[in-house]
Structure 1
């Protein structure tokens, strides 16, 4: 299969993102080096804490290991009578990098801008922990939160599952698994998620050589997490392959225009629509994978962020 020679006309903001991503590129192929470089880039886009929200780290005790989480709650606003609505967030990073610090640039602002709680999950990473470890940790965190929400004054009936990139995959997979259990989340939010293992959607060819994320990168991350390709049809890994979308929550799905995974979210939204599930699909024009970091600097990403806030608010307020 030939790869189109797509020419990308990038805004100054996107060019800046490409530049800083290269500045923080790992010194070598060593995993620790990759993680350190990613963490450094994340710190570059994270503003210092301003003390306006309460931030606590906790450990959730699973059967054979603990799952670390970070809880964000508003300080200056009184909690609703039923407790705080909550966004349960799974970070991106190709199942390989990222953690509790990597997405603070986003989660602290969701907490402040919507006056809700946010809980970030530090799921186990590949390649030390292969599929379905990350999925299992995320699903466990959700079921734990549903059962123990009152400990943190959270409304167990108002939990939105969210994530970006690999975290979007985990968010979708958890909500697919929750169908027909009576425990479905109130909403689903995904930002440029990778949702299939087949790489046969048009964007994987059109944007095979896109800046910041190539098709080859997608295949690399998938194999790091799930080296056994006999598992690639498992809905916990490839939720887009599900045949049943009838008990999915209201959803917000945003994709970046210049991104090999842009069709994953598009086709997922179409499946939701066919199943009669309310959803809002947003294309961030001219934006690259990972562009969410520019939510304060780039008008197109700011638009995506505001659309996401509107959708979350609608999910929370829906009876």
Structure 2
């Protein structure tokens, strides 16, 4: 199977949104600051889309870069008003903290335990907790949803899958692949690589890029480019906080209805269901148009 990959040396020139769109957003923000946009705009949005889900979250039991446990993360998200969260710890080739010498099944069970501990606490406090993971490919990362523990144990070949094989096998299992923060620029990311044919969607809003309180990766242009990229290839967009501790940003995807499970989330994103996106500060349509 031939790979379709785009490597960009200067993605800003290609994917930066139009001046018209930029000005349109700037005018809206100016009106908000002047008080000419009623605060009820946000209230109405939250009323129409009351079910908010964090789609990109790490816990210290499995992600080496996380600073809070699953229980702590679940409690913080519940207190912040989330309906549910998706635990997406770094996987076998990412920045995890699971013993690398363990055989495949034991490694997967230990890795999955981080999600299970979070889910158990979620059940106690009334927070839905779903499973996902963040797959790493030398700086290029993907959020994978809709896969079960049993499937992972039965498919050790996924450990060394190419990006193309990952997409194929995850699809065969009924899952979904989202390109995480595709335009982030950091030392651990040697180059920006895009795979529009091998993802179901794009993380257009990553709160660490655009929330004013973010202390890492903070550059709104990363999100602007991701939104333009998704539009260019007609790919669905998601939003998440990429959160590693209980200092929450409030990012995620908000729906009109409560999701049943992680497969329901996959179906909603791929099926074009109505939802909105947020970085915790601003709200956007699922196409990335600024609402508030």
On whether the aligned pair clears a TM of 0.5, the verdict is no
TM-score normalized with structure 2 length: 0.36
Q: Which structure ranks higher in relative contact order (CA pairs < 8 Å, sequence separation ≥ 6)? A: 2
TM-score normalized with structure 1 length: 0.34
